[in-house]
A = this chain, B = another copy of it.
């Protein structure tokens, strides 16, 4: 941020997101039981900020806020809430407050809200909706999770493909209800199949007698209702789309995906990759301690097994260590370098697979590149460590052992780091989730095995 002094219209920092002192101010009002002060603080606050506030309050304050102010809670706050907290907040609301809140929401937001809820809460929310909204939500829920059918909104604007600008304007002016956000008028043939779309700006910029057909935008692409949301996000990002019609098996228009939904998916995917690479599930700050510990336990347990495997290798060479304790001192360096180099290669590979930069067309070149990088850095660190080991322990052949083991370790770390994600991806397993333990196993076994094996052979 700049040092510039800010005149009237320059937005203050706290305007971007929840104000810094809002949490403490709300907590103070709650502790004082001061309902008017609380209402004044929350009034006019954006639903996304109220959701953040609920996430940051401690559990007791949160319950108190919902007790004092729950009847005013907007439906959008529920949409914005962290999934881990939704159940708690929904359970704390009175049936009337909950009903009022969800009736304000667009159907795609209701779908997003209820899809991860327990059956009972889901039923409670669906029951609060008017019959036609409920039907629309249930129809969306009938599509498998993670498909465009779940992501799309059912509100859209479509007109016959032979219409003119004037026809479209008259139709829109006469329409009783229009979608909250729409960026294109979709042209459809008599069988309701989309054949193109016209950006609203072009309709506004042209005379009434211009045929809509002449204003179609070339970015037009349809998405199948069963398309994976990850693919949908990729298409939006790759082709810079702003909205895309969703069609069913017969090519008929059934909904529209807009860029904000695609952006949310993209954001979630990246988040998921980051957390999975670190061996953390889809955890969030509002999850319970026992849940978090359990989820992380699984990953640590897998890691324990690979570590024990590595220890078996060390045990196999225990005579060498008894003969030269320098080996015990140096071997964690080898393992650490192998682990880190493997993680580097693996992370690049996992991301490149996710962004589709790594494909079968260039895999072979990328593998060669990784091996070359591993060999280069293996040689460099082999040299450095040879000097360190020589100076430190003064054993004549130790530098040779260290240097050779380092090259072997970094080359196999590079190979493991690229081949394992590629193989997992081919097998249809998420490489972000499963690569880590395999790569660690490879780097541990090679680093300890090569170092201690060479040492037994050359030194003893």
Where the two chains meet, the residues of A that have a C-beta atom closer than 8 Å to any C-beta of B are 1-2, 4-11, 15-18, 20, 23-24, 46, 48, 52, 55-56, 58, 82, 144, 147, 157, 168-169, 172-173, 175, 178-179, 181-183, 193, 199-201, 203-207, 221-224, 226-228, 231, 234-240, 242, 247, 249-251, 259-260, 262-264, 266-267, 270-271, 273-275, 277-280, 283-285, 289-290, 292-293, 296-297, 299-301, 303-304, 306-308, 310-311, 314-315, 318, 321-322, 325, 328-333, 335-337, 339-341, 343-344, 346-348, 351-352, 355-362, 365-366, 369, 372-373, 376-377, 380-381, 384-385, 388, 440, 444, 448
**A247 CB contact (under 8 Å) in B9, B204, B361:** B9
Main secondary structure of the interface of A (DSSP, over half): helix
Rounded to whole Å, the gap between the CB of A453 and the closest CB of chain B is 15
**Nearest residue in B to A297 (C-beta to C-beta)?**
B377
B222 near A347: Cβ-Cβ < 8 Å: no
B48 near A239: Cβ-Cβ < 8 Å: yes
**A274 CB contact (under 8 Å) in B290, B307, B315, B347:** B347
Residues of B within 8 A of A299 (CB): 340, 344
Q: How far is the CA of A57 from the CA of B175 in the complex (A)?
A: 51
B221 near A300: Cβ-Cβ < 8 Å: no
Q: How far is the CA of A380 from the CA of B307 in the complex (A)?
A: 16
Rounded to whole Å, the gap between the CB of A7 and the closest CB of chain B is 6
Q: Can you tell how many copies of this chain the complex includes?
A: 2
Q: Assuming A183-B201, A203-B204, what are 9 further A-B pairs, CB within 8 angstroms? A: A1-B227, A56-B361, A172-B205, A182-B201, A262-B263, A285-B348, A304-B381, A306-B336, A311-B330
Residues of B within 8 A of A325 (CB): 318, 321-322, 328
A307 near B337: Cβ-Cβ < 8 Å: yes
**A263 CB contact (under 8 Å) in B15, B206, B263:** B263
User: Would you give 10 A-B contacts (Cβ < 8 Å), ordered by A?
Assistant: A1-B227, A2-B226, A15-B221, A23-B359, A46-B239, A58-B362, A263-B263, A283-B348, A290-B376, A322-B322
**Nearest residue in B to A208 (C-beta to C-beta)?**
B173
B314 near A222: Cβ-Cβ < 8 Å: no
**A308 CB contact (under 8 Å) in B58, B231, B333:** B333
Residues of B within 8 A of A357 (CB): 52, 55, 82, 284-285
Q: How far is the CA of A290 from the CA of B376 in the complex (A)?
A: 8
**Nearest residue in B to A296 (C-beta to C-beta)?**
B344
Q: How far is the CA of A328 from the CA of B326 in the complex (A)?
A: 11
Rounded to whole Å, the gap between the CB of A413 and the closest CB of chain B is 10
- With known contacts A9-B193, A242-B259, A293–B376 Cβ distance under 8 A: yes
**Nearest residue in B to A260 (C-beta to C-beta)?**
B240
